[in-house]
Structure 1
Amino acid sequence: MFWAKNRLYAAVTMALIVMLSSAGCSLPDLPEGEAAPVEELDERLIESNNGFGFTLFKKLHQEDKGRNLLISPSSILTALAMASTGAEGETRTAMEKTMFLTGMSREEINKAFADLLTILQNPDPEVELVVANSLWTRKGLELNETFIKQNHDFYDAEITDLDFSNSDAAGVINDWVREKTNQKIDGIVEPPINPETILFLINALYFKGAWAEEFDPDQTREIPFKLPDGTTKEHPVMFKNGELEYLENDLFQAVRLPYGKNERIAMTLFLPAGDLTLEQILSELDKKSWDRWNEAFDSMEGELGLPRFSFACELSLNKVLSDLGMEIAFDENAADFSGMRPIPPRLFISKVKHKTYIDVTEEGTEAAAVTSVEVEVTAMPEQFSMIIDRPFFFTISDEMTGTILFMGTVFEP
């Protein structure tokens, strides 16, 4: 069984990962008409998701150090994969290489994403996890039937033919985004829609989970939090004592906090050791280190102080994706999306936008992410104390698949 042998975890600065372990974990009843979870998942997709996430996150962090950052590798990868079903030639090769999907056929990629969707649904009675995909096409413009069918069949994408010239068109798409993210992300498309835009491919991800053991609000108190510039600010910190999954080495302290009844999903927090900085953790972060660290956690009695925090991010990913090797997909003179519709006219990706949100309290965590791809036509000790009072890195993970849903860093809660 996949989840009996795969114990991958993945995250960076702030990551939301999903994995499910077989021990003591039962699946809830499925809503009528929903596909049952597959028993085997192509592990190459998880490796691609996490490798892509680490690479993208570190690149974004380098471009804007010292600021809170949150991404959803899973959301971004899914939206790009949907677009790549219409890519051909050098464009397809470049996109698959950037997404760490080289070596998988298009059929294998599509099937792996479809299988992953079945596993991510209904992870726990006390955890809500929504993954939704959609295609919004310009009314009157025909796209290849195979492209539409692949997105519908493998990504469960809702297909809508919309009059983009209507002044309410962007609002219709943004209403869908708000619905799927429980109003946490207020849209992704800016009105009016460009007359040359023919397609939006959108992934939305929403997570809400109660801690397996909530923090006692009476224990929350304000303590100084050290900011990157050397100053401090008084900030509410939640405290917990007891047996926790813990790891300590020369680089960091780390603790894992599960959600829900079956504890399938967990947040993992990383605090730099002593006078070290997040830069030093991130410089060591790769798949090999990540796997090694996650195998080393052990149950231990201790004290945890975790700041309450809430923030949102909005990112344009055009430049970073181009720098990572996907430049041709944005080139109106060279991109090949003939799988969407024949050339001419030539189609190209004009914008990749990403929005995220997170809120961590005594009760649990609420997080959301939306990625939009816009297509245009040319034209460890015996007892520990871990008080998170300075910039830190964290993840949320689902032990079934190892898929990274979110990544982030907190420099100022």
Structure 2
Amino acid sequence: MPLFFYMFPLVLGLHCAPPNRSEGKLTTCDSSQQNATPYKMSSINANFAFNLYWRFTVETTDWNIFFFPVSIFSALAMLSLETCHCTQTQIINSLEFKLTDRPMTEIQQGFRHLICLLNFPKKELELQVGNTFFIGKQLKPLHSFLDDVKSLYETEVFSTDFSNVSAAQKEINSHVEKQTKEKVVGLIEDLKPNTMMALENYTYFKAQWANLFDPSKTEKGSSFSVDKTTIVQVPMMHQMEQYYHLVDTELNCAVLQIDYSKSALALFVLPREGQMEWVEGPMSSETLKKWNCLLQKGWIDLFAPKFSISATYDLGAIFLKIGIRDAFADNANFLELTGDSGLQLSNAAHKAVLHIGEKGTETVIVPEVRFLYQPEITLLHLIIKFDRSFLLLILKKSTRSILFLGKVVDPTEV
């Protein structure tokens, strides 16, 4: 089964300047012929993504975490377009921007360039990010708002009868299900009766590994350590192949890069036993740049789990904690959207479904990592077995954007 990834809000970018350009390796040096706007935003996007990740770790201690930073980032960026005064300032500040440093028009164009580069269908890799506004029938969106969201973000706007809660909920869920090719079902389960506006953000990602795993070599039941007392059984894929990898002695982890056949790559980060917090605490764009410069290609005896997991987040609660308060309060200012006062954001949901298998992105896992360097043997290779908790990042090569960021604690929890 190929890799599928579906979610609702966020984006990360990163870049590095390694001394040499390598085929297959993520590089950031050769950007002269590409649009520079996404690169200017890369460190800002990275800060936003890791900020969200740390918030999720507090909310879901010792549990699976995964989300699509680009998706959440783009949703907030679009929302900021239609807000005024304090509401807009809070959203822009949460995205790590400062209106005193850049004009709003430059920020919005940067968002637009990033989204354009993210949406591209291909046979081996398909990535589409989209936003949809559902607005109460009694509200009349301004023409300027409709023009802006269509031209800048290719966003759909639907007039919805929120007085019929069950019908409105079904309409929103059906739209999400259709856009994610039936991979995200039942996103909204508790729509509030007084809802006047809902913003839905979706992401669809499907990709194939550059080097497919042989299904005949997948072990049906292999042990995966969730914690010191919990062991679960998962199918474990196996492949001997040349991969870019490194052992970070400072952070006590192994980093493995697995390329997709087109335009994207995955970084699997396996901490030593009990060292997850040691690794995730200092994670930043600088960490990713360092890794990119140190990755070396060599033979790896790889064991990676095959599994499917899902996660749902109430982004409203998270947004409040990162400083977006007015959008959900009585003093919200969305006058640029409808010209009506008293309108406030009523729902912000994020659901992600991830599958990893022999053909493509479905997910990877970790319990015992064995760092076996054997200098006395002619053929040197590293054995990496993802049989305990690990971090997973999926990046778009050309923009260095983090498409996916997550932590796999228990691959059997759906």
The TM tier, using the shorter chain, reads 0.7 to 0.9
Secondary structure of 2:114's counterpart equals helix
SS in 2 for 1:348: coil
Correspondence 1:227 to 2:226: yes
Partner of 1:361: 357
Q: Which has the higher strand share?
A: 1
Which residue in 2 is equivalent to 1:325? 323
**CA positional deviation for 1:335:** 2.3
Cα pair distance change 1:255/1:409, threshold 3 Å: same
The one-letter amino acid paired with 1:178 is E
Deviations 1:379-404 (A, max 9, x none): x9652111111111111111111222
For each residue in 1:202-260, what CA deviation from the matched residue of structure 2 results, as whole angstroms up to 9, or x when unmatched? 22101111111111112111332112243322322111112101011222101111112
Q: Give the conservation status (yes or no) of the 8 Å contact 2:236–2:306.
A: yes
> Which letter maps to 1:244?
Y
Q: Does 1:153 align with 2:151?
A: yes
Q: Which amino acid aligns with 1:389?
A: D
**For residue 256 of structure 1, what is the aligned residue in structure 2?**
257
Aligned equivalents of 1:50, 1:133: Cα separation in 2: 21
Q: Does structure 1 residue 134 correspond to structure 2 residue 132? A: yes
Aligned equivalents of 1:230, 1:291: Cα separation in 2 = 36
Q: CA offsets per residue over residues 333-391 of structure 1, 9 Å max, x none?
A: x3222222335x32222332110000101111259xxxxxxxxxxxx965211111111
Query: For 1:115-164, what per-residue CA distance to the aligned partner results, in whole angstroms no more than 9, with x for missing partners?
Result: 22322233643112122222222223112322222111100001222333
CA separation of 1:300 and 1:23: change in aligned 2, threshold 3 A: closer
- What's the secondary structure of 2:323's corresponding residue? helix
List runs of 5+ in structure 1 lacking aligned partners.
1-14, 26-36, 368-379
CA distance in 2, matches of 1:212, 1:313: 27
In structure 2, which of residues 348, 351, 356 is the aligned counterpart of residue 352 of structure 1? 348
Q: CA deviation at 1:16?
A: 9.1
Aligned to 2:54: 58
Counterpart position of 1:266: 265
Greater relative contact order: 1 or 2 (C-alpha under 8 angstroms, separation 6 or more)? 1
1:71-105 Cα offsets, whole Å, 9 max, x none, are 11111111111211121111211111111122333
**Pair 1:180–1:99, CA change in 2 (3 A):** same
> Unaligned regions of 5+ residues in structure 2, if any?
1-9, 25-32, 364-370, 374-379
Query: Structure 1 residue 331: deviation in Å?
Result: 2.0
Alignment of 1:6-405 (within 5 A): 39-102=35-98, 103-122=101-120, 124-166=122-164, 167-190=166-189, 193-221=191-219, 222-250=221-249, 251-260=252-261, 263-273=262-272, 275-332=273-330, 334-342=331-339, 345-365=341-361, 383-405=381-403
Letter matched to residue 365 of structure 1: T
Q: Distance in 1 between matches of 2:184 and 2:15?
A: 27
Question: How many angstroms apart in 2 are the aligned matches of 1:324 and 1:267?
Answer: 28
SS of match in other structure, 2:177: helix
Q: Which amino acid aligns with 2:310?
A: A
What is the letter of the counterpart of residue 305 of structure 1?
Answer: F
1:265-323 Cα deviation digits (max 9, x unpaired): 011100003x3421111112122222212222111112111111211101112222212
Structure 1 residues 119 and 158 mapped into 2: Cα distance closer, same or farther (>3 Å)? Answer: same
Q: How far did 1:325 drift?
A: 1.4
Going from structure 1 to structure 2, the CA distance change for 1:406 and 1:280 (only over 3 Å counts) comes to same
2:15–2:289 CA contact under 8 A, matched in 1 = no
How far 1:41 sits from its partner (Å)?
2.9
Distance 1:20 1:248, change over 3 A: closer
Percent of matched pairs sharing the same residue: 26
Contact 1:38 1:115 (C-alpha < 8 Å) held by counterparts: no
Partners in 1 of 2:395 and 2:321 — Cα distance? 28
CA 1:20/1:171 → structure 2, altered by over 3 Å: closer, same or farther?
A: farther
* CA distance, structure 1, for counterparts of residue 195 and residue 362 of structure 2: 33
Aligned to 2:5: none
Distance 1:104 1:148, change over 3 A: farther
Distance between the aligned counterparts of 2:241 and 2:128, measured in 1? 31
Offset at residue 17 of structure 1 (A): 6.9
Q: CA separation of 1:309/1:389 partners in 2, compared to 1, >3 Å: closer, same or farther? A: same
